[in-house]
A = this chain, B = another copy of it.
Amino acid sequence: MARTGTEELRRRNRAALLDQLHRHGPQTRAELTEALGLNRSTIATLAVDLSESGHLQETTGRPTGSAGRPSTLVECVPEAVTVAAVEVRADRVRFGLVGLGGEVLERSEVVLVEGDDPVEAVKKLTGEAAAAVDAVAAVPGLVDSGIVAHSTELGWAGRDFAADLVRATGREWQVVDTATAAAVGEWSRGDAHEATRLLYLHGGRGLTAGLVVEGRAQRGGSIQLGHIVVEPGGRECACGLRGCLEAEMEAFGYAEDIEHATAAASMGDATARDGLRRSGEDLGRALGAVVTATGPDEILFGGWLRELYLSAAAPVRSAIAETTLPHLRSRLRLRTPVLGDEGALMGAAETGFAAALDQMC
């Protein structure tokens, strides 16, 4: 791969064009000229190049309604570049083959039963995805360069998941954490695009958080929200610490069944209501520290934290307010994600596209 020279310049411009279409959908040549700051003729040669290589398609554009020659519409061909994205959960593995532009071309899922190895599921699911230029797996937990250092949900510690996947499937894998992936997904394909510092909270069997700053995932940042200590010397946690948010919340036992708790609370069950309130406060205190340390301007409550937030917004908010400086608090928006279960998969795919387009020919 050339690092310098005029061919490198071309390569970069090609990648920029594809990236633009990938992010913003079909555009006319004129719009591309504007967006990329290149000359019309340059856009033309790039477009012809990429048409011939099958990466994009040109169609006679929509009538503009205004004067002038109508411009040709350029759109990318989803099948030209695909990424295999996988999301691993304790009870299932989901797969999506995502094409350029963000379209999901294929989708499948394997349900795991006690003792199943996710690697086998991944192998089965991605059998036909050999053409994918990149493969990315999202895992809930603390991921450090392919190794899952800690995962409450999967019960792993120090597993070299990337290597396992390579062995099983015979291809390279990126491993990212689910929370960061979901943050990327919500930013790029959800409605959180205007957030400059987006914190996504992922509530599964464990609690993790992912941070996206100006659209870029913060590497190494898979934040172990569940292991923020909210009660020094408190309940013993499986991780060996005491008073972790996860351990304190586990006392209420509704990570598995939050609907039950919220239903009971809305029926007037005082114990359930009190439990939700206290959980909300613990979560808010943990968030206070995370917000102070990372300074987000938007927080999305994903997974079962969505339900907790929806039914205990007040205690969450007030606990944050009691542990965060006014300036940080005032610019903070609290919301729920829009992509639902899809976010992590989309974000994982996006991670793959970022890498693919970067070294794109």
Interface 9-mer from A250-258, A292-300, A307-315: A292-300
Interface 9-mer from A160-168, A184-192, A321-329: A321-329
Chain A, 263-299, CB within 8 A of any chain B CB: 285, 288-290, 292-295
- Residues of chain A touching chain B, judged by Cβ–Cβ distance below 8 Å, are 3-4, 6, 9, 13, 36-38, 42, 142, 144, 149-150, 157-158, 196-197, 213, 218-224, 227-229, 232, 239-242, 285, 288-290, 292-295, 322-328
Task: Return chain B residues, CB-CB under 8 Å to A223.
Answer: 292-293, 295
Identical chains in the assembly:
2
Please classify the interface of chain A as helix (H, G, I), strand (E, B), loop, or mixed, using the class held by over half of its residues.
Answer: mixed
Task: Return chain B residues, CB-CB under 8 Å to A158.
Answer: 327
Contact in complex: A220, B197 (CB < 8 Å): yes
Task: Return chain B residues, CB-CB under 8 Å to A290.
Answer: 289, 292-293
B9, B197, B239, B322: the one contacting A241 at CB < 8 Å is B322
Task: Return chain B residues, CB-CB under 8 Å to A144.
Answer: 327
Query: Which B residue sits closest to A291, measured CB to CB?
Result: B293
Contact in complex: B325, A227 (CB < 8 Å): yes
Contact in complex: A323, B240 (CB < 8 Å): no
Least distance between A156 CB and chain B CB atoms (Å): 11
